[in-house]
Amino acid sequence: MKNVYCLKNCLVALSLSLASGAASAAAGWTDSTPILEVNQQGTTGVGANLVFIETSVTVNPSGCSYTKGFYFAVNDDRQKRLFAMLLSAQMSGRNVKIYTTGTCHNPWGYAELDGVVVN
């Protein structure tokens, strides 16, 4: 009976950790990387009004399924500055470090971008 109780508790804990996609997600900075692509999505579809970037990072703390991709919406002045920084870094060939919130875009698995350091 004790083994059945333990098995039930283990199964409940496992199912909760699998159901909670954010359990392994974390905010933090990536390593330094070039920006390979900047993609402004259209006004329809799952990426409507979002900017997506592709990188070659090897360290991404977000836990999202696509480790080399990031996204953000451009809704305010701060996000416009992020967009300008990313474009200038890509055009000048400079590397960036990206701060991610740990939130993942569904269905593509890109990590939400919330800060940039051009280096």
The single-letter code of the amino acid at 74 is: V
In angstroms, the CA 101 to CA 44 distance is 24
The whole-number pLDDT of residue 3 equals 52
Angle of CA points 38, 87, 72, to nearest 5°: 55
Alpha helices in the chain (DSSP H): 2-19, 77-92
The CATH number of the domain covering residues in 24-118: 2.40.50.110
pLDDT, mean of each 10-residue run, the chain (119 residues) = 47 36 72 96 83 96 96 94 96 97 93 96
Q: What is the DSSP string of 89-110?
A: HHHHT--EEEEEEEEE-TTT-P
Cβ atoms within 10 Å, residue 22: 11
